[in-house]
Amino acid sequence: MSTVRRLIVVVLFPGVDLLDVTGPPEVFSLARRESDEAAAYEVVLAAETLDPVTTGAGVRVLPDVTFDELSTKRIDTLIVPGAVEIDSRRRVHPLTDPHVVARVKRLADRTRRVTSVCVGAHILAAAGLLDGKRATTHWSTAQQLAADHPAVEVDADPIFIREGDVWTGAGISACLDLSLALVADDLGEAVALSVARQLVMYLKRPSGQSQFSVPLEQLSTTRRIEDLRHHIMRNIGEPLTVADLAGYAHISDRQLTRIFKTDLGTTPHAYIESARVEAARSRLESTDATLERVASACGFGTVDTLVRAFRRRLDTTPTEYRRRFRTGGA
């Protein structure tokens, strides 16, 4: 059987996130070892020159090729990592060097599929490669991506999104999930799952998996909403209606809804459901409790309600979620 060569190019530039650069090659390397097919990945790191590139972690990385050396090569997959800078108020700002953007745009013209990792989506967007497409990025810069590029439909929740031959990945560690999805697309689910086992990832996560949990959401600006959030988590198995929460906070139902919308960008009902799903995820990962017990303990009432919430929030079922992410017996 003839070998199918797939040239994978990872873009390097100063300040790039280290895991964005090293994670995908590890996945493709394991895929070569696990695959029974004759397909082969050739992974190269490309930069402006062959001089060492200092990453955001301070670790220097040696490029394999220059961008100019790729000018006549056909690229299978272009991986664009991200880089950020932190201002004096500890706010995160993605870096989009115009020269890097121009290089990525030219490389994309000779590439079968283009991918970004984390805030690398900002570089793809600046190159015009995400216009008219749905895309994701790290949750901390999603609002900026949407504001800077109105032609892009930004969805900050999934760990990765595929739009034809353009793939975008979320937070830094999601580079492994994105890379596994690329392997599955090339070589099949069986190979991807074998690689995931080698990485001790408890199988690969589906694209609909949320990239953040309720406790990681942006903290509210008022003590009242924080008190309500803690009250919800302490009483997750209770009914928790809007009227209940409004009574607890000594405000009207309308004012409660307005506070949730302003501070958390969602409705009380949607937030409570996300909190219940988060609580259920924890139980499914760490206990052997039946679905009936999980549903009851997390306030869903019935297994059917639990299943519908999981399908809505995570695009999977509780049973499938437990199969993928079970971490040990209680």
Range of the domain at 282: 214-325
Query: What per-residue string of b and e applies to 121-135 under the rule 16 or more CB within 10 Å gives b?
Result: bbbbbbbebbeebeb
pLDDT at 123 over 90: yes
CATH of the domain at 34: 3.40.50.880
Q: CA 163, CA 243: separation in Å to the nearest integer? A: 41
Q: CA 138, CA 156: separation in Å to the nearest integer? A: 7
Q: Are residues 163 and 287 in the same domain?
A: no
Q: Are residues 147 and 240 in the same domain?
A: no
Q: How many residues does the chain have?
A: 330
Tell me, what's the pLDDT at 194? 82
Q: Tell me the CA distances in angstroms from 251 to 100, 235, 246, 262, one per residue in order.
A: 52, 19, 5, 15
- Give CA 37 to chain center in angstroms: 29
Of 8-12, 28-32, 179-183, 207-211, the poorest mean pLDDT is in: 207-211
pTM here is 0.65
Confidence of residue 265 (pLDDT cuts 50, 70, 90): confident
Q: Is residue 86 part of a domain?
A: yes
**What is the percentage of the chain residues whose pLDDT exceeds 70?**
89
CATH of the domain at 272: 1.10.10.60
Confidence of residue 176 (pLDDT cuts 50, 70, 90): confident
Q: If you average pLDDT over residues 225-252, what whole number do you get? A: 89
